[in-house]
Amino acid sequence: MRGSGQQGPLRLQISGSLENLYQVVAQETVVTPAGRLTAYRLETSLATRLKASAGPIQIPFNFESRGTSWYAEGVGLVKSIQKTRNGESITELVALRK
């Protein structure tokens, strides 16, 4: 990817790559505050490799995360766990109205 941006008087040129891998690995029962649901488990891997240049200055932005998400048919995302070097983020379905 390539692009440009501006922060105040500083003009940046940005280039790099994004790599996303999604793989369905199982169908299983997942428990959320909304109840027990049969869902597909997806394993995800995301890698961002960007470089911002402002004149002679180059700033790298490298980020990786791994996660697991569960999607139920007719519902959508019911639970997600994302892990990065800074910790873990959990999202869960809390209510379901039919």
pTM of the model: 0.70
Residue 34: band (very low, low, confident or very high) from pLDDT cuts 50, 70, 90? very high
Q: What mean pLDDT do residues 48-65 have?
A: 90
Q: Per residue in 66-94, pLDDT tens?
A: 999 999 999 999 999 998 888 899 999 99
Please provide the size of the chain in residues.
Answer: 98
Give the chain as a 3 state SS string.
CEEEEEECCEEEEEEEEEEEEEEEEEEEEEEECCEEEEEEEEEEEEEEEEEEEECCEEEEEEEEEEEEEEEECCCEEEEEEEEECCEEEEEECCCCCC
Dist. CA 25–CA 16, nearest whole Å: 29
